[in-house]
Amino acid sequence: MVPIIADDKRLAIAVKLADIKALQELLITIEQRLVTLSDDPDIRKRLGDMLADDQKNLTIIENTIIQYGVKGEPRDTVVEMTDKLNDLMQSSKLSLYDKFSQLELLKHQAAMAGILVHKAAQLVGADIDAAIAPLNTVNFENRAHQEQLKGILEVLGTRELTGKEADQGLWARVQDSLAALSGVFGSVISHGEGGADMKVTDIVRMDHQKVNMLFGQIQGTNDPAKKLEFFNQLYGDLSAHAEAEDQTWYADLKRFDDSIEKAEFAYKDQDELVALLEQVKTSGIDSAEFDSRLAQLQQKVTSHVNYEEAELFAKLRQHFSDEQLREMGKQFQMAKSRYQDIRQQQMTGRS
């Protein structure tokens, strides 16, 4: 039997993603506090825009973790560091300049963590690189925020040391830095992708694309360890996807007379798909039946995907507004996340 466990490298990336989420939550907390402390309208406006970006980016990070399909907990050292820094930022020990300086350092830490995950994903598997692609937006905006924070630090530092205002050309230089940064990152930024405003159809299509990659990776390697790694990811992704569809938008479609038959067919077809998935899992990658059963599963998945995207997506667009489809996307992601949490508990032997 194939043991359904996450590869060590994939678990390490999951832990790093959990670290990134913890850092992002601390960034938001600190920015909310600093907005109330600054009496400079320009700084307050820039910080407010930064806060709005970071709140949006937290949703991107959360969705990326769900798309990744393996969950981890932040490292104890990260939890300890965030707790200590949060306490320090609430105290009167630091000047306003010092607090913004700590924020800039935290932005740098978050940006480097995101870049590290991106580099690791390129080495571990194409499916991971695809799942975490929306982090490109977060990484870019963290770097852009650093440039703005450097400008804020120059203003606050000059005031604290001299009581005078900094060079009036400061913000023009900041804008030049942002433009240069945008030129470097422009080709890899995926604004909106993976964010809070994704329709359920977009998220489901992303899942389909990732699963297709995993089939290719399984078939493209002769290394038993890699084949097992890729199949374990495929098993987890397909299982979570099927469970979430059954609980959310399939049920939503059954509310309409002209969609009941199509939704019921999708339920039945998906049950057959999951049964095939379990057969492949049971056979084991070393068995003579593995490749043939995997091919049957891939054929079933392909036909199921084509039916969903051609027939069911049309019914979704017919019966639901864009706003409703975005809300259904949130519900779909939440259902996937709940399933992943349960599976993670089973994998680690927790009750």
* Same domain, yes or no: 158 and 16: yes
Give 92-112 pLDDT, tens digit per residue.
999 999 999 999 999 999 999
Confidence (pLDDT) at 178: 54
In the chain, how many domains are there? 2
Confidence (pLDDT) at 187: 43
Give 263-306 pLDDT, tens digit per residue.
999 999 999 999 999 999 999 888 889 999 999 999 999 999 99
* Same domain, yes or no: 94 and 73: yes
Contact criterion met (CB below 8 Å) for 306 and 182 = no
Task: Name the nearest CA neighbour of 230 among 97, 148, 133, 127.
Answer: 127
Q: Which tokens hold the place of 347?
A: 């994998």
* Same domain, yes or no: 65 and 159: yes
Q: Which tokens hold the place of 88?
A: 């320090």
Residue ending a domain, among 153, 188, 223, is 188
* Same domain, yes or no: 144 and 236: no
* Same domain, yes or no: 212 and 160: no
Highest mean pLDDT out of 159-168, 177-186, 310-319: 310-319
Give residues with Cβ within 8 angstroms of 303, minimum separation 6.
269
Amino acid at 154: E
- 74 pLDDT band (50/70/90 cuts)? very high
**pLDDT at position 191 over 50:** no
Task: Name the nearest CA neighbour of 234 among 347, 17, 69, 10.
Answer: 69
**pLDDT at position 188 over 50:** no
Confidence (pLDDT) at 194: 56
**What value does the mean pLDDT take over residues 116-123?**
91
Give 41-68 pLDDT, tens digit per residue.
999 999 999 999 999 999 999 999 999 9
* Same domain, yes or no: 163 and 290: no
Q: Which domain holds residue 267?
A: 200-348
Residue 94 DSSP symbol: S
- CA distance linking residue 118 with residue 128, whole number of Å: 9
**What value does the mean pLDDT take over residues 311-329?**
96
**pLDDT at position 19 over 90:** yes
* Same domain, yes or no: 178 and 260: no
Give 159-174 pLDDT, tens digit per residue.
889 988 877 655 555 5
- CA distance linking residue 188 with residue 277, whole number of Å: 34
* Same domain, yes or no: 142 and 214: no
For residue 303, what is the enclosing H or E element? Answer: helix 290-307
**pLDDT at position 177 over 60:** no
